[in-house]
């Protein structure tokens, strides 16, 4: 405390602030992505994701161009309705394959999102600033979500718009209905991948350990689930996020058979219980990831 005999030069005067304040969550997400971008592995996995997108793009465009400028039948002599089915297949396959590649990408990019902060003692530096736990959660989840948004959600919309743009007029009305299910599949992928990697990062100690463990878990879990379902344990399929996503996406992308499709098209279809169970399993994975993150934050950061 100042003593009676202490003289201050000018007294404290804060510097004037210019411009609007930005949400701190944006800065948190930006820092996280900036740190990841410095790694060579990040660029490599993103290139792989780009290659997957490129391959599916070529597949889709090739089919549709052949249809447009061909004789009204598909490349293998398929009728138009089967070409629509092929477009669905491209979108569904893209979501399935890109889910795997993005799982690797997000493990590399966001594996250290929380683990690094804990190791670096960044919580002390972060929470001595005007931000809340909610800001931190939004920032980290937002930063992690950017990865599947860029590698899955935006590309699937791009593929769909490309299909719409170059498809023959007769196909457009059919392809139009694939947009919402594709988007929903992409959003589910984003939610599951972002929350699970952040949850894993929250309980991990080192970025590299979290990344390797996450990728191994995705691969091993898929293998185990394949084996168990092959041995007759059908319920095991719900344990694999990739398989659950596949089930849900197949359901969503088949408008005539899905609840969403029936609502959109006005046609009644029976509820697919397997797809609903898969959706529940995906939401449970997302909830578990978020729960781990929140638990860690509550235990290490007050307020």
Q: Is the dihedral of CA 218, 193, 185, 151 positive or negative?
A: negative
Helix (H, G, I), strand (E, B) or coil at 146: helix
Helix (H, G, I), strand (E, B) or coil at 302: coil
Site mask, another protein, residues 58-97, x = CB under 8 A?
----------------------------------------
Shortest reach from residue 32's CB to another protein, in Å: 10
Q: Which of the stretches 26-34, 223-231, 244-252, 266-274 binds another protein when contact is defined by CB under 8 A? A: 26-34
Nearer to another protein, 97 or 122 (CB): 122
Is residue 231 involved in binding another protein (CB under 8 A)?
A: no
Question: How long a stretch of residues is the chain?
Answer: 303
List CB contacts of 251: < 8 A, sequence separation 6 or more.
257, 258, 272, 274, 275, 278
Shortest reach from residue 298's CB to another protein, in Å: 13
Quick one: which of 132, 173, 263, 265 contacts another protein (CB under 8 A)? Answer: 132
Shortest reach from residue 206's CB to another protein, in Å: 12
Nearer to another protein, 6 or 71 (CB): 6
User: For the chain, what is the radius of gyration of the CA atoms?
Assistant: 24
Query: How many other β-carbons are positioned within 10 Å of the β-carbon of residue 131?
Result: 18
Q: Which residues from 38-57 bind another protein, rule CB under 8 A?
A: 38
Number of Cα atoms under 13 Å in the Cβ half of residue 143: 29
Which residues in this chain contact another protein in the complex, by CB under 8 A?
A: 1-4, 6, 8-15, 17-24, 27-28, 30-31, 34-35, 38, 116, 119-122, 124-132, 301-303
């Amino acid at each position: 405390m100042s003593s009676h005999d202490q003289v201050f030069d000018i007294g404290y005067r804060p510097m004037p602030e210019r411009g609007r304040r930005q949400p701190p969550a944006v800065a948190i997400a930006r820092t996280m992505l900036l740190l990841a971008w410095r790694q060579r592995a990040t660029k490599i996995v993103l290139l792989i994701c780009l290659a997957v997108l490129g391959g599916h793009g070529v597949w889709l465009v090739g089919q549709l161009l052949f249809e447009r400028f061909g004789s009204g039948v598909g490349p293998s002599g398929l009728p138009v309705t089967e070409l629509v089915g092929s477009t669905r297949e491209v979108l569904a396959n893209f979501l399935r394959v890109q889910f795997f590649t993005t799982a690797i990408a997000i493990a590399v990019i966001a594996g250290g999102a929380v683990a690094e902060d804990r190791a670096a003692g960044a919580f002390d530096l972060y929470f001595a600033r005007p931000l809340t736990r909610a800001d931190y959660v939004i920032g980290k989840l937002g930063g992690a979500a950017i990865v599947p948004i860029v590698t899955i959600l935006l590309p699937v919309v791009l593929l769909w718009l490309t299909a719409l743009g170059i498809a023959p007029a007769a196909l457009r009305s059919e392809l139009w209905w694939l947009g919402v299910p594709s988007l929903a599949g992409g959003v589910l992928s984003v939610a599951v991948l972002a929350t699970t990697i952040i949850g894993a990062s929250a309980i991990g100690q080192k970025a590299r350990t979290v990344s390797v463990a996450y990728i191994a878990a995705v691969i091993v879990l898929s293998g185990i689930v394949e084996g168990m379902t092959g041995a007759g344990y059908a319920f095991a399929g719900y344990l694999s996020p990739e398989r659950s996503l596949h089930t849900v996406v197949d359901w969503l992308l088949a408008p005539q058979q899905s609840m969403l499709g029936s609502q959109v098209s006005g046609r009644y279809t029976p509820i697919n219980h397997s797809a609903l169970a898969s959706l529940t399993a995906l939401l449970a994975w997302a909830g578990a990831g978020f729960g781990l993150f929140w638990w860690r934050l509550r235990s290490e950061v007050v307020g």
